[in-house]
Amino acid sequence: MVAGADQPSGRAVDWLDVRGVQLGHSYGGDARAWGQDAGEVRAAADDPMRIRALTIARYEKGRISEVTDEVAAEEPLELRVDGRPLAVIMRTPGHDRFLAAGFLLSEGIIQTARDLQEIGPAPDRDGFPQPNALEIRLRPELENSGRPWQRHFTITASCGVCGRASIDAVLDRVPPISEQITIAPTVLLGLEERLRSSQPVFTRTGGLHAAALFDPTGRLIVAHEDVGRHNAVDKVIGQLLLQGQLPAPVSMLLVSGRASFELVQKAVVARIPFLIAVGAPSSLAVELARAAGVTLVGLLRPHRFTLYAHPERLRLAP
């Protein structure tokens, strides 16, 4: 993570007052143990929110042995707007306010950080903060505008808000990206290794996706991990939004795994002209990238990659 980023603290309460630019540390989950009996999941001592330790049976070379292993944490996060449920996101705890802000921007509920007044822990019926729920206060004009936040939806780690938007709907919200940035192929070829070096939880568990933003020279700006690619991207976008760094027209977004329609949509909304994926894109992702002016790169490997949309931004040596 970048210096000064929202770092896990193990505390159950986190809050953010955007108006005063006061930053707390809001995280779902806590440092409690999940049980010490064999086979039960418990929090890892050094990263209790994002990593769980458990006893497993491992088969190797004809033998089964009992060992302790680590898995990535996944818990639900409920988002509420003005006390009304908006969404339940299955995510890796930590950096929840970035996730919430990025989600709100990607879904068109807010347009800028000024639309947010406060993100804080949602109280339970006794008034105590809940570790896996955030209360969001918007500008009064937005809360009273009749926007459809009453609609409930669950975002799973694999599919996001599946099939909810179309290419026309995206382009009705934001115009195509026309930024003339160009990137040398050698810069793209070195990005996957830099992404791997920014994935401490994946290194230990093998169970998280990652998203990272780079400048045109390949310098890492910010990176986040999560059980869902969409969540990792929302955390990146949300951090940029709350730190006043959006739009990001001179940057590249790299994601682990495949490139879906929703990931291209998030890049368009954040005005990021390059979306690069370690995996392959879907057909609808390619269609949206071509229509929205996003250079879409897939199948990134140390010595090659595939350009699916707007290859003119690749700067070849004369």
Is there a domain that residue 139 lies in?
Answer: no
What is the torsional sign of CA 207, 267, 27, 126?
Answer: negative
In a domain, 227, yes or no: yes
Buried b (16+ CB within 10 A) or exposed e, 34-72: eeeeeeeebbbeebbbbbbbbeeeeeeeeeeeeeeebbb
**pLDDT by residue (tens digit) across 85-111?**
899 999 999 999 999 999 999 988 899
Q: Which of 159, 162, 169, 250 is catalytic?
A: 159
Q: Which of 8-12, 22-26, 107-111, 285-289 is predicted with the least confidence, judged by mean pLDDT? A: 22-26
Q: Would the pLDDT of 307 be above 90? A: yes
Structural domain total, the chain: 1
90 by Cβ neighbours in 10 Å (0-12 / 13-18 / 19+) ranks as: middle
Structural domain boundaries, residue 263 = 185-313
Mean pLDDT of 107-131: 88
Instruction: Indicate whether 299 belongs to any domain.
Output: yes
Q: Which letter, b or e, does each residue of 278-312 get, where b requires 16 or more Cβ atoms within 10 Å of its Cβ?
A: beebbebbbbbbbbbbbbbbbbbeeeebebbbbee
pLDDT tens digits, one per residue of 34-84: 223 334 566 666 777 888 888 888 888 889 999 888 888 899 999 999 888
Domain contains 287 = yes
Mark whether 159 is an active-site residue: yes
> Quick one: pLDDT band at residue 214, thresholds 50, 70, 90?
very high
Is residue 104 domain-resident? no
- Could you tell me whether strands 153-155 and 84-91 are parallel, antiparallel, or unpaired per DSSP bridges? parallel
Q: Tokens 């568990």 correspond to what residue?
A: 205
Give domain status of residue 175, yes or no: no
The predicted pLDDT at position 199 comes to 83
> Does residue 20 belong to any structural domain of this protein?
no
81 in a domain, yes or no? Answer: no
SS3 of the chain: helix, strand, coil, percent, to 5: 25, 30, 45
Of 202-211, 244-253, 257-266, where does mean pLDDT reach its minimum? Answer: 202-211
Rounded to two decimals, what is the model's pTM?
Answer: 0.80
Whether residue 52 contacts residue 32, with contact meaning beta carbons closer than 8 Å, is answered with no
For residues 275 and 254, what is the distance between their CA atoms, to the nearest angstrom? Answer: 6
Residue 7, by phi and psi: left (phi above 0), alpha (psi -120 to 50) or beta? beta
CATH number at residue 216: 3.40.140.10
